[in-house]
Structure 1
Amino acid sequence: MMFAVAMTFIDQTIVSIAAPDIIKELDLSSSGMQWVVNAYLLTLAAFFALGGRLSDVFGHKRLMLIGTLVFVVSSALCGAVPTGDGAQAWLVTFRATQGVGAALMFPAALAVVVAVFPVARRGRALALFFGISGALTAIGPLLGGWLTTWTWRAIFWVNIPVAIIAIALTFAARIRNEPRRESIDWAGAALVVIGMGLSVLGLQQASAWGWSSAITWLCILGGLVVLALFVGYELRSRHPLIKLQVFTDRAFSADVAVLFFSMMAFVPVFFFTSIYAQVSLSSSPNQAALFLLYFFAGFAIASQWGGRILDKQGARPALRLGTALGAVGFALWANKLTDLSLHDQWPYAALAGAGIGFLLAPASTDAVNRSIGTSYGEVTGITQTVRNYAASIGLAVFGTVLTHTMTDRVVESLEARGASPEQAHAGARDIAEAISGNADNRPPSGDSPLARLGSDALSDIRMDFAEANQVVFFCMAGALAIAFICSGFHPGTRVAGGDDGAQQPETGAGTAATER
């Protein structure tokens, strides 16, 4: 099961490091590239709960295998994208089907783990499951940087041997498939897909449509209204897609809120950092991946401490510490982006990663441990849906912020070099879209907007890009600050096993959470 889910987590971030190469070869805009990344996150979030329900109905093993096949076939097709006018549509489409495959695969794999391990050993199994999954998210850019030195298409093809191993091990483990007769909440599934899709569409396209555009707000507000209808429908439904009553647990709600705001920074940071390193620092994909290694190092070390804090003191101290460190780390990191020096930034990148590391596993594990009256799979469906939806929103919002800020900065640079306001505004949008595809040290060639600029102007624009990313990173620090506020609402209760084997809250420090 871990071989299967490894692909889903790595693919959340592996594409980010290859973004400039993909943009150049396929002639995509930077906003188009954001859709390539976000299509996967959005469909994974929107279909996750439905995947869990289908897993219960058709059997966990069967859905895990179907999801793996959908995922790996989509990966192969992503790697085989042809160049030309239809490249962006092709890549976005099959990134979306990748997300659907992951949404079928992941809840089924989790359900297999829950079913196979007895209750007394299930906590340790789930801790390993979630701990490694978080680490794999951070490993994605490192693997992507290495593969991109050969060809960016390899970041998709690498899933093929992993999927073959996962399928072979699944059959070798002789896992039984046990389908159950249960109803499927198709109406709820449709509402959550439409609501998430519309809201993210509006947020991401705001850079192209404009914040004053009626269609922008129609999508954003329409999506939120549909999600509100989904909540009302689920609360009235006899067989809901998601049992929302679990949110009556204050600690669970705090865990989910912390995950939401922290994930707005965690997954998008890989995309924006890799683009920044390759554009403003003129780094190669491999060098950009090594830059992210500092973030991952802080994440990996803090993850171990976060788990120990959870065991000894409960989730609240880990959440408070992680969100505070994350907010400070991202703010200090943002302040150093315009120095254009990797040497000056690495301590703050590590601090930001440590903040996420302290909170990720404790928040996820504490939420799952509070699955009173519902299953591990259903609660994980909620947390994973929230995590991926938050990542989609973060990428959409911060991408819009980056484009707008970059455009404003380039307008100022072009006007300072004698361009009229009309010429500056006309060229700024094209440059903001095209600059992500020019990560090397050479002046661009051809008819691109950058081709008409000299080396001095290119240097100024790389600084403009750094300043635009600085705004994005300050926004990420703000998201972690909101997560810190949310962590304060966690009551500090802990989870211990009752005599009947159900999870029961326990106040105070006491002993580590146990399960009977």
Structure 2
Amino acid sequence: MSAEGHVPDSSSPGAGTAGSGPAPNQTLTLAAMLFAVSMTFIDQTIVAIAAPDIIDELGLSSSGMQWVINAYLLTLAAFFALGGRLSDIFGHRRVMLIGTVVFVVSSVLCGAVPTGDFAQTWLIIFRATQGVGAALMFPAALAVVVAVFPVDRRGRALALFFGLSGALTAVGPILGGWLTDWTWRAIFWVNVPIAVIALVLTLMARIPQVSRRDPLDVPGAVLVAAGMGLSVLGLQQASAWGWSSVTTWLCIVGGLLVLVLFCVYERRARVPLIRLEVFRERAFTVDVLVLFFSMLAFVPVFFFASVYAQVSLSASPNQAGLYLLYFFIGFGLASQWGGRILDKRGARPALKLGSALGAVGFALWAGKLTTLSMHDQWPYAALAGAGIGLLLAPASTDAVNRAIGASYGEVTGITQTVRNYAASVGLAVFGTVLTHVTTNRVADTLQARGIPSGPARSAARQVAEAVTGNADARRPTGSGPVATATRDAMSSVRMDFAEANRAVFYGMAGALVVAFICSYFHPGTRVTSRPETAPHPTGQDTAPA
């Protein structure tokens, strides 16, 4: 790539798409892709809200319910890179449509789960296929938007794409609480009308079908899926298995070793799944690093803020969802600003300003958590959201703009894999911090009320596991002096939990500080022109719509 930040692309300069036929409708295209990916964002949070009702009706174990939630996130992380490459080979529009169908059929089957002994296995299987559908759909949908919008308009288009789709994550808890009042099965069935709208708009938008005659790197696909799957599994299960568990570290270290093997293999493959030479460009590497460290905070904040609101603020699930809206108001407004900065000045100013605002916002928000007042926190929650919103679209768009040979699906697969992996790391690490600090502080509280050290720590661990597992820890059960003291001390326990969350939010601020440091290494070059695609060893096949 040139020093000026040129991006090789097979698309025509005007419309930003390849192929003959009528130009695509950019507005319909963006709307179609937003409807499609909205399902993947909502489903990251909506199931957790309905978990108690699902457990009660189907008789699932708590560990089984955790697998129902994790199966989606695990397959999503494992197959994102493959989904992006498949969209390059078979066409972004085609793979997006296939992914949407797989996702919505899996959603219907999740909602139709029969009662009985097979219920848990049924749900886990079809939650996993939901994740596969999302892994096919999301990178392909993002690649469609990138291909349809020319470089000079891409920043604003993707700012709207990331701003609205990211904000929809906050809809999950609110929508989940409302639908669960009717039936928890509706949290899956709600995807059907959304998918129908996405499919109809996609067909109406006249999106060209562009495909490449590349062979699929099957060994590379197996290695990256195994490596991502194993390491994410270890991170997800660390709280259940324990950080001292051999199984936890076998999964994490084994997965990382498989990913190293994947990188070695890819450097020698004739047509690799991921062309690692894209990391030779400093701007792309910095974009990915900024995304990684910002995602350590962005996705975990949904969980930690929601549980904090329900435990420390005694909020209902619906109120907890509204609490998250403070964050997303700032996120949605700033994401549009970030897109304009990218189009006019490049990614570096947005990355620096966004990570700085995010770090300050999370730090100030952390300091206000112990006030136990939503009213005192909203400006800082909005500031933290604004920081993430300001950098997310520019970092993602700038990375995609620097794609090799117009492999938009491939590069979006890389960036989305990094984002999901960072989210898994953040949830695991910050979850451990939350449990550890909560246990220590609750134990101190109980000992101050005369409970001996051993029973106090045992009770504290039970409280910590309950609240960090999204259970209702506000009504401790049991009898005896320890249970009685715990119930009597619940006002103090709520403060203990708030202080534990403060440590987590300071950690999120620290992650944004590292992102800010990384942003300084961005060269500041802009992608300003679109030269012809570099020759590809296996050629290219373009099929009009």
Say which of 513, 518, 524 aligns to 1:492: 524
Matches for 1:10-25 after TM superposition, within 5 Å: 10-15=42-47, 17-18=49-50
Q: Output the amino acid matched with 2:164.
A: I
Say which of 188, 192, 198 aligns to 2:220: 188
Q: Find the counterpart in structure 1 of residue 336 from structure 2.
A: 304
Q: Distance in 1 between matches of 2:355 and 2:387?
A: 6
Displacement after TM superposition at 1:29 (Å): 8.3
Q: Could you tell me whether the CA contact under 8 Å between 2:406 and 2:533 is conserved in 1?
A: no
Displacement after TM superposition at 1:208 (Å): 3.6
Q: Distance in 2 between matches of 1:182 and 1:210?
A: 43
Q: Could you tell me whether the CA contact under 8 Å between 1:299 and 1:356 is conserved in 2?
A: yes
Q: Could you tell me whether the CA contact under 8 Å between 1:46 and 1:389 is conserved in 2?
A: no
**What SS is found at the alignment partner of 1:39?**
helix
Q: Distance in 1 between matches of 2:482 and 2:208?
A: 58
Count of residues in Structure 1 that have an aligned counterpart in Structure 2: 501
Q: Distance in 2 between matches of 1:372 and 1:178?
A: 16
Q: Residue by residue, what CA displacement relative to the aligned partner does 1:225-257 show, whole Å, maximum 9, x if unpaired?
A: 111111111111111111111111101111110
Q: Find the counterpart in structure 2 of residue 479 from structure 1.
A: 511
Structure 2 segments unaligned to the other structure (5+ residues) = 1-31, 535-545
Q: Could you tell me whether the CA contact under 8 Å between 2:97 and 2:199 is conserved in 1?
A: yes
Q: Find the counterpart in structure 1 of residue 538 from structure 2.
A: none
Q: Distance in 2 between matches of 1:79 and 1:64?
A: 23
Q: Find the counterpart in structure 2 of residue 168 from structure 1.
A: 200
Q: Find the counterpart in structure 1 of residue 455 from structure 2.
A: 423
Displacement after TM superposition at 1:348 (Å): 1.0
Matches for 1:243-322 after TM superposition, within 5 Å: 243-322=275-354
Q: Could you tell me whether the CA contact under 8 Å between 1:142 and 1:292 is conserved in 2?
A: no
Displacement after TM superposition at 1:47 (Å): 0.5
Alpha-carbon spacing, 1:487–1:59, altered in 2? closer, same or farther (3 Å): closer
Q: Could you tell me whether the CA contact under 8 Å between 2:171 and 2:321 is conserved in 1?
A: no
Alpha-carbon spacing, 1:110–1:355, altered in 2? closer, same or farther (3 Å): closer
Alpha-carbon spacing, 1:29–1:204, altered in 2? closer, same or farther (3 Å): farther
Displacement after TM superposition at 1:285 (Å): 1.5
Q: Output the amino acid matched with 1:243.
A: R
Say which of 216, 228, 251 aligns to 2:248: 216
Q: Could you tell me whether the CA contact under 8 Å between 2:163 and 2:332 is conserved in 1?
A: no
Asked if 1:325 is matched to 2:368, the reply is no
Q: Find the counterpart in structure 2 of residue 365 from structure 1.
A: 397
TM-score when normalising by structure 2:
0.82
Q: Distance in 1 between matches of 2:480 and 2:300?
A: 27
Alpha-carbon spacing, 1:438–1:196, altered in 2? closer, same or farther (3 Å): closer
Displacement after TM superposition at 1:280 (Å): 1.4
Q: Distance in 2 between matches of 1:449 and 1:150?
A: 40
Q: Output the amino acid matched with 1:97.
A: T
Say which of 133, 144, 147 aligns to 1:101: 133
Q: Residue by residue, what CA displacement relative to the aligned partner does 1:422-451 show, whole Å, maximum 9, x if unpaired?
A: 32343333332223555486x355799997
TM-score when normalising by structure 1:
0.86
Displacement after TM superposition at 1:8 (Å): 1.6
Q: Could you tell me whether the CA contact under 8 Å between 2:158 and 2:339 is conserved in 1?
A: no
Q: Residue by residue, what CA displacement relative to the aligned partner does 1:115-165 show, whole Å, maximum 9, x if unpaired?
A: 556778666655543443333334444444544454554333221211122
Say which of 386, 405, 411 aligns to 1:379: 411
Q: Residue by residue, what CA displacement relative to the aligned partner does 1:46-76 show, whole Å, maximum 9, x if unpaired?
A: 2012112333444444432332222123323
Structure 1 segments unaligned to the other structure (5+ residues) = 503-516
Q: Distance in 2 between matches of 1:118 and 1:333?
A: 38
| Superposition RMSD in Å | 3.3
Q: Distance in 2 between matches of 1:313 and 1:120?
A: 11
Asked if 1:388 is matched to 2:399, the reply is no
